[in-house]
Amino acid sequence: MPEKLKRMDVAKGIMYLGIVFIVAICVYPFLNVLAYSFSDRVAVMSGKVTVWPIHFQLDAYKEILKQAQVWAAMRVSVIVTLSGTLLGLLMTVCAAYALSKPDLRGGKIFTGFILFTMYFGGGIIPTFLVVKSIGLYDSLFALVLPSAMNVFNFIVMRTFFRNISKELKEAALIDGAGDITILIKIVLPLSLPILATIGLYYAVDYWNDYFSALLYIQTPEKFSLQLRLRQILFAGQLDQMLGSADSAGVKIMPETLKMASIVVTTLPIIVIYPWLQKYFVKGVMVGSVKG
């Protein structure tokens, strides 16, 4: 028995070491980006920055946040993320609730059509032509409508709805409630974990998406934050910001400005996650019990 316990302790120790190693690999890039963004130019040039800022400073953040274009892009990203998340949740809830009913006539056919789009897409050029032909080109609607519902999110939510007690729904039907009443007053209040989970999925997708803006948006005032970040990093706007800082007597390294830009674009969505974590974990576990 002691020998068996000793082997279990060794196995646990190896498992914990593996977890620590994986966490370190995942966390190190974030800490390195933060350290570079807060370090001064001398520390960056010397190559001493790793996971802790050296000679803490905020010059890079001040330079980025004084750019009117960055604030305009952030406003666009917030609008697109909020509207896309709400629309995605609405469509996913309606489709998942209807198709979670085993006795729905033609339900398997409709589900098959939805799943078909998960494996076969229209392609970039046909999708672009469709968006342009219906008048959405260079409009914020082009950033929301083409990806309004994610099939994976639909599958997870449908599975969750199927796991809700049938007795509750049958009791409501006996009391004279219709499907909409059951959905609003019974199903949705019980579905906060999955709603938070799917909402977070949609929010992250919309916030991080830059390719749709690159493809469909032409007016600079409608650029999303991610597309603006791409311009800062790769399209010459970085030199303009460095020149503006130099004229103000502030010396900033390009690497510091790049890392600060990355932090500014990722921080909002990272701040939201802790508030949804308990719902997120529960929603993922319950929504994946069975198909």
- Which of 224, 199, 250, 217 minimizes the C-alpha distance to 84? 199
- Which of 98, 81, 212 minimizes the C-alpha distance to 157? 98
pLDDT given for residue 281 in this prediction: 59
Q: Homologous superfamily of 59-286 in CATH?
A: MetI-like (1.10.3720.10)
Q: Does residue 16 surpass a pLDDT of 90?
A: no
pLDDT given for residue 170 in this prediction: 77
Q: Please count the residues of the chain.
A: 291
Q: How far apart are CA 284 and CA 199, in angstroms?
A: 12
CA 245 to chain centre: 32
pLDDT given for residue 47 in this prediction: 78
User: What's the predicted TM-score (pTM) here?
Assistant: 0.82
Cα distances from 285 to residues 153, 157, 199, 282, in angstroms, run: 14, 12, 16, 5
Cα distances from 133 to residues 166, 181, 195, 271, in angstroms, run: 45, 38, 33, 38
pLDDT in tens, 231-290: 777 755 666 666 666 565 666 777 788 888 888 888 888 888 777 666 665 655 554 444
Cα dihedral value 4, 8, 14, 15, nearest 10: 150
pLDDT band at 104 (very low <50, low <70, confident <90, very high): confident
pLDDT band at 191 (very low <50, low <70, confident <90, very high): confident
pLDDT given for residue 287 in this prediction: 46
Q: How far apart are CA 239 and CA 260, in angstroms?
A: 15
Match 């799943």 to its residue by tokens.
115
- Give residue limits of the domains in the chain: 1-57, 59-286
pLDDT given for residue 5 in this prediction: 58
Cα distances from 60 to residues 35, 153, 257, 284, in angstroms, run: 12, 38, 5, 38
pLDDT in tens, 155-179: 989 988 888 878 777 787 887 778 8
Cα distances from 1 to residues 7, 67, 136, 179, in angstroms, run: 10, 67, 70, 58
Mean pLDDT score of the chain, rounded to an integer? 83
- The set of residues, in sequence order, having a beta carbon less than 8 Å from that of 76 and lying 6+ positions away, is 140, 222, 223, 224, 225
- Which of 270, 275, 247 minimizes the C-alpha distance to 33? 270
